[in-house]
A and B are shown apart, each in its own frame.
Chain A
Amino acid sequence: MDKHGAPSLHIMRSQLGRARGLGAAKSGLHHWWGQRVTAVALLPLSLYFVVSVLMLAGADRARMAAFMAEPWNTVLYLCLIAALFYHLALGVQVVIEDYVNNEAKRMAGILAVKGLIFFCALACAVSVLKLAF
């Protein structure tokens, strides 16, 4: 649209690029695939998490530490943390991309949220390891 609201065409792309579709995919497939892989991984891991939480209902710290010190529980919790936070980072990125139109704000938002998610993931992993060892 021009400044008077009448339709006009301003295409800054090659005809070939336009005919082929919506532009370079860059890392789009990686994002989509990563979301699916972590989703599949989270199917058994989240069920394990539910069972573990039921086992730890009302537990004191000693019982929780003993639980996390079991090798399978340590490993499963670390797998859960990795898959969960990666899945979360990819999901939140899509939500921000959908609703924040301003490019600078969008990038700042994604970086801030992904930074927070990375921080929380590391805090969880270190806490599990500290309980385990």
Chain B
Amino acid sequence: MKDVREALFVGRNTEGKLIRRPISPFMLGSAYKPQMSSMTSIAHRITGCALGLGTLLLTLWLVCAASGDDAFSVIQAVLASWIGILILIGFTAAMFYHFCNGIRHLAWDAGRGFDLPTMHRSGWTVVAATAVCTVGFWVIAFLVW
């Protein structure tokens, strides 16, 4: 027994014989269709990891600003290049998604919104809000730039 959880996978059938209990298939794969619950959940994790990488960019930005004019003008130029803008668009989209879906998770933590119609509605609301906020952010960003 490599994993202590193995002990919980073994049970007895009605004849008293030891059997290995069946387990559910992994949530991602051929066993299940893509669903609102699983897709928004995995997206929350992926955007969380992406935002983790984004904090490296935030660190670089602040450290360059503190270092001096030359370093700061370099990072500002990199962020304003087309690839920099592309990364920042991805960063803001990930942030707005994680923000909106995070509110959904906090509501679930409070015991609200678990029924399927509400869960589907809140899921689509998160997707729509992410799109609206990301587009809105970049419209304002290009206007004030």
Number of chain B residues close to chain A: CB under 8 A = 41
Taking residues whose C-beta sits less than 8 angstroms from the other chain, chain A's interface range is: 35 or more
Q: Which B residues are in CB contact (< 8 Å) with A57?
A: 141, 144-145
Q: Which A residues are in CB contact (< 8 Å) with B48?
A: 91, 95
A82 at the interface (CB under 8 A from B): no
A105 at the interface (CB under 8 A from B): no
Q: Which A residues are in CB contact (< 8 Å) with B106?
A: 36, 39-40
Given A1-B20, A54-B144, is A7 in contact with B10 using a C-beta cutoff of 8 Å?
yes
B28 at the interface (CB under 8 A from A): no
- A sample of 20 cross-chain residue pairs with beta-carbon separation below 8 angstroms, ordered by A number, consists of A1-B6, A6-B18, A8-B10, A10-B7, A42-B102, A43-B99, A43-B103, A54-B137, A54-B140, A58-B80, A58-B145, A59-B76, A60-B76, A61-B68, A61-B73, A84-B55, A88-B55, A120-B56, A124-B63, A127-B63
B19 at the interface (CB under 8 A from A): yes
Contacting residues of chain B (50-98) with chain A, CB-CB under 8 angstroms: 51-52, 55-56, 58-59, 62-63, 65-66, 68-69, 72-73, 76, 80, 92, 95
Q: Which B residues are in CB contact (< 8 Å) with A124?
A: 58-59, 62-63
CB distance from A113 to the nearest CB of B (A): 9
B121 at the interface (CB under 8 A from A): no
The answer to whether A123 and B65 touch across the interface, beta carbons within 8 angstroms, is no
B residues sitting closer than 8 Å to A (CB atoms) are: 1, 3-4, 6-7, 10, 18-20, 45, 48-49, 51-52, 55-56, 58-59, 62-63, 65-66, 68-69, 72-73, 76, 80, 92, 95, 99, 102-103, 105-106, 109, 137, 140-141, 144-145
Contact partner of A91 among B1, B52, B62, B72, CB < 8 A?
B52
Contacting residues of chain A (92-133) with chain B, CB-CB under 8 angstroms: 92, 95, 101, 117, 120, 123-124, 126-128, 130-131
CA distance A132 to B138 in the complex (A): 28
A25 at the interface (CB under 8 A from B): no
CA distance A22 to B57 in the complex (A): 40
